Amino acid sequence: MLDILYEDNHCLAVNKPAGLLAQGDATGERSLVDEARDYLKSRYQKPGNVFVGLVHRLDRPTSGVVLLARTSKGADRLSAQFREGSVEKVYWAVVEGTVASEAGEWHDTLLKDERRNVVSVVPEGTPKGRPAVLAYQVLGRAPGRTWVEVRPVTGRSHQIRVQLAARGFPIVGDRKYGAKSSLTASDGGGRIALHARSITFRHPTRPESISIAAEVPANWPATRFATREAPSGSSTRAEHPGR
């Protein structure tokens, strides 16, 4: 059953579980779009096809907020916001290693190997390389692990995973990018400790800004972190992210 976070005539936001494809591929496996379409058909007793527009994506092993459009007008306007970079996306990640600086911004050039579906950090000026900017803040620390909040300024494929791994901080469970640890998603497949915590966007038909947050799932790493200040602003110690 879908975890619905927000719904109106033009928008549908859900908390995607890790392991679920955002959109169907050659495997023919069910996807988030399939689940959303079935939900809307059942809820509103709609016969025939139901429009569901996927305006952005999360990698299969990542959980968190995904915004969908219920109308073509909504899809066009929301997609434009993602292209222009006006949508604010916040992620939580648990990484291997200790991130020394409390906050900062990383600038890299990324190159995607389409055949292998792997992204690498390459020297600036590399043909087909694309600039990537990622802002981060440390939220908590535990032995051998760091809990970070990251805000991608650009929207590149695998950007967060690659920029963290390139500095020696692979996301827990992300064996593809060098993690030593493994994690299991609720469906029994692999997941990584990356969660799309929140998204803020302009409503496609109304003059208002909407912010939507998603709690971390039960299969999030059960690590307790010593924190100087919780994300809510209250002082705390030994916080579990999102709990």
Q: Which of 3, 25, 38, 59 is catalytic?
A: 59
Question: How far apart are alpha carbons 86 and 104 in whole angstroms?
Answer: 20
In this structure, are strands 103-113 and 130-142 parallel, antiparallel, or unpaired?
antiparallel
Beta strands in 70-158, from DSSP E residues, in sequence order? 88-96, 103-113, 118-122, 130-142, 145-152
Is 113 designated active site?
Answer: no
Question: How far apart are alpha carbons 30 and 241 in whole angstroms?
Answer: 29
Question: How far apart are alpha carbons 23 and 30 in whole angstroms?
Answer: 8
Token pair 């719904």 is at which residue? Answer: 7
Active site residue ranges: 59
